[in-house]
Structure 1
Amino acid sequence: MESMFRPPKPLSLDGNVAENWKLFEQKFDNFLTVTELSKKDEETKVAVFLNLIGDDGLELFNTFDLTNNQKKSLQCVKQRFEAHCSPKKNVIFERFVFNSITQKEGQLFDSFLTELRKAVKSTGYKDKDDMVRDRIVMGIFSKDTQEKLLRVSDLTLEMTINHCRAYEVSKTQSKALQSEVSVNELRRKNKYGKKESNFTCKYCGTNHMKGKCPAYGKKCKKCQRLHHFATVCQSKGNKEARDDKKKNVHEVAQEEGSESEGDQFFVSAVSKQIGVVNKMEKSVGESM
């Protein structure tokens, strides 16, 4: 039957020895009960105790100044371990430690509550629940929660714990929802932002996001109007100016062409006149 139940681990004399001893003693007593070893004689129970306490615990036991009868009494043996592992504490200092505990940023409320419940055990306070309740209200990290707790006149420890847990859960859920909204918004921007960046703007002639036109507020160097560049200027006056310029160039070309034809006509007429004169002179010479 004893093999059905797990015995306690050996006593550790490192770290918080007082807490280690309390846990070992509690587990040992439970083990004696479930295995029915508690019905055995005292000498047998001491033997089981020394067998389970481990090498360090056994060496410590050998340093105790006990009589043979005391060594056979489980109660006497446990009292000597208690005196060694849990020496008398300074109650004032223990209360100072308890009343200095505050919830750290990012610390879960249940972790804060466990820390208070452990520390209050050595303070000697009669009403430990009230002390833990007060310490929660004074040491809670969230000032909003503290303000709400102070509004309750008949606040109990159970009410305090339930309120703090509910606030922590709601805060976690709110962060999760906000994070999901932010992710969806970022996805939407990435999805539509790429499409918007592919269109060619008629005001600047470049590709850009909607509302990010570099020509906004700039003055056109051709028509002197705002919000577009001269390279894409579509004003009527500017178009007419370009048409007039083309027309003037065409007319100048025509005038230059006319002057060339006039010159050619004048030269042709003079040549004809010279030919007539030469013909007349030839006729007169033959008649003489």
Structure 2
Amino acid sequence: MAGYIGKIENFDDGIEQWTSYTERLEQYFAVNEINNEKRVPALLSLIGGKTYALLRNLTTPDKPKDKSYDDIVKVLKEHLSPAPLVIAERFRFHKRDQKSGESINEYVAQIRKFSEYCNFPDLNDTLRDRLVCGLKSEQTQKKLLSVQALTLEKAMQISVAMETATKDALELQGKQQESAVYKVKSQKPKVNSYQQKLITCYRCNKQGHKADTCRFKDQTCLKCKKKGHIQAACRSKMIKRNVHSLNADDSQNDEFGFTQCLRTKIHRKETMM
């Protein structure tokens, strides 16, 4: 059917319902000015081989081409989209609450879909009630319950406005927190000139500069042969002196202990005599 406006794919019950397909088909016929005489051939050509085989079985012994357009649509609807139980559909409708991450508009669209086969006498009032009862935000619920003569349209306006305000507030708080964290990280501790003068460089043992800017940072020590400081700031000699001092103290302690022991023995012998 080349040259026609738009395109109608083969019917696939995994993608859409038969009623939805026929609604699109009606619009296709209208925009392309397909008259009543051509509707049956057009329908049988567009529905695809799988659906045509099903239709042929449903109309046996008659052939599908011998049926009217309305009869074909009705036969396939009764088979593919049987009328659901109203009580079951209403149960599903009233159990449908707003899901996490679902916007107000998305939620209303879903409950409208669930109400298709519910046969509510006043659909707008029922949708309004389901919207108020199913909202996740308790703050929005309290606001809606305080409004006199609340309509579905008014309920949606208030809910969307509060939803937008909440998102904007959270976004603003997030930006403020990020700015505060960045400010704290970017701040460096300040060192005044007096403190700078008191800093002693471990590379040269002098004050007034930091070790990473010391001109002796690549110097090799003549004492310990290690790189990064000079002999005047070498700590190895301090360690050696401490070790020598400890050894001297140990020897003095040993000598004192020996003298004490000798005096004790002499005192015992004099007592026994």
Quickly name the TM-score band, shorter chain normalised: 0.5 to 0.7
1:20 to 17, 22, 30: 17
Instruction: Note if 1:59 corresponds to 2:59.
Output: no
CA contact (8 A) 2:55 2:64 kept: no
* Deviation, structure 1 residue 40: 4.0
1:47 maps to what in 2? 41
Q: Distance in 2 between matches of 1:107 and 1:200?
A: 59
- Counterpart in the other structure of 1:136: 131
- Is 1:113 matched with 2:114? no
Alignment partner, residue 215 of structure 1: none
Deviation by residue 1:190-227 (Cα, 9 ceiling, x = unmatched): 111x335x67998xx99xxxxxxxxxxxxxxxxxxxxx
Distance (Å, rounded) in 2 between the aligned partners of 1:199 and 1:31: 82
Does residue 36 (structure 1) correspond to residue 33 (structure 2)? The answer is yes
How many Å separate the matches in 1 of 2:95 and 2:192?
A: 64
State the identity as a percent: 26
Q: Which has the larger radius of gyration?
A: 1
Structure 2 CA distance for aligned equivalents of residues 65 and 124 of structure 1: 30
Q: Does 1:91 align with 2:86?
A: yes
Amino acid at match of 1:77: I
**Equivalent residues of 2:98, 2:107 under 8 A apart:** yes
TM (norm. structure 2) is 0.66
Normalized against structure 1, the TM-score is what?
0.63
Verify the 8 A CA contact 1:102 1:140 in the aligned structure 2.
Answer: yes
Deviation readout 1:10-57 (Å, 9 max, x if unpaired)? 211226xxx5212211110000001000x241xx31111011112221
Residues 1:82 and 1:4: Cα distance change in structure 2 (over 3 Å): same
SS in structure 2 opposite 1:9? Answer: coil
- Give the C-alpha shift of residue 164 in structure 1: 1.0
SS at match of 2:158: helix
Q: Using the TM superposition, name which of 51-60 and 128-137 deviates more.
A: 51-60
Shift of 1:62: 1.5
Q: Which residue of 2 aligns with 1:5?
A: 5
Q: Out of 179, 195, 199, which is 2:189 matched to?
A: 195
Deviations along 1:144-173, one digit per CA (max 9) or x if unpaired, are: 000010001200000011111111111111
Cross-structure match for 1:160: 155
Tell me which residue corresponds to 1:186: 181
Q: Kindly tell me: are residues 35 and 200 of structure 1, through their superposed partners in 2, closer, same or farther at Cα, counting changes over 3 Å?
A: same
Distance 1:173 1:143, change over 3 A: same
Structure 1 contact 99–135 (Cα < 8 Å) conserved: yes
Q: Larger deviation: 65-74 or 111-120?
A: 65-74
Q: Structure 1: where are the runs of 5+ without partners? A: 207-288
- Counterpart amino acid of 1:58? Y
Q: Pairwise CA RMSD of aligned residues? A: 2.4
The number of equivalent residue pairs is: 196
Query: CA 1:201–1:186 in structure 2 vs 1: closer, same or farther (change >3 Å)?
Result: farther
1:85 is displaced (CA, Å) by 1.3
1:125 is aligned, of 102, 120, 126, to 120
- Runs of 4 or more consecutive aligned structure 1 residues displaced over 3 Å after TM superposition: 66-72, 198-202
For residue 3 of structure 2, give the secondary structure of its aligned residue in structure 1. Answer: helix
Larger deviation, residues 51-60 vs 92-101? 51-60
Q: Is the 8 A contact 2:9 2:46 kept in 1?
A: yes
TM-aligned CA deviation for residue 65 of structure 1: 2.5
What amino acid does structure 1 have at the position aligned with 2:28? F
